[in-house]
């Protein structure tokens, strides 16, 4: 199965957003992550959990996991490039910040 071409993304989810990245679990073949970006006054990366719908034969976004904000498109793409290598501990810290970082996610770049 070619997972990247096998995702049913609702039209309203794609409104003003662009697919940036997809990940598929090596351990749980029915799970994945979808990254959609949008530009407002900043660059925002929305991460969604994908689940394989057997009856439709496609992956579908079932839950937004997190949204990360960046000042520049370059910062967002650096984060995306590093995303597969972020440890679970670092991801937990990123998803639950206590104070805003001085430079967004600078320790990952």
* Each residue's pLDDT tens digit, 59-93: 999 999 999 999 999 999 999 999 988 888 888 88
Q: How many structural domains comprise the chain?
A: 1
Its pTM surpasses 0.85? no
* Maximum C-alpha span of the chain: 46
State which residues form the domain around 99.
3-108
Distance CA 39, CA 45 (A): 9
Q: What is the dihedral of CA 13, 78, 42, 71, to 10 degrees?
A: 170
DSSP H or E segment with residue 93: helix 88-95
Residues 6+ apart with CB under 8 A from 66: 46, 47, 94, 95
Q: Which residue has the higher pLDDT, 28 or 107?
A: 28
């Amino acid at each position: 199965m070619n997972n990247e071409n096998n995702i049913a993304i609702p039209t309203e989810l794609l409104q003003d957003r662009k697919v940036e990245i997809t990940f598929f679990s090596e351990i749980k073949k029915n799970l994945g992550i979808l990254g959609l970006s949008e530009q407002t006054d900043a660059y925002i990366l929305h991460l969604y959990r994908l689940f394989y719908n057997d009856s439709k034969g496609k992956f579908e976004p079932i839950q937004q996991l997190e949204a990360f904000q960046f000042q520049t498109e370059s910062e967002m793409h650096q984060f995306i490039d590093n995303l597969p290598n972020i440890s679970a501990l670092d991801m937990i810290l990123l998803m639950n910040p206590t104070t805003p970082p001085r430079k967004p996610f600078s320790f990952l770049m």
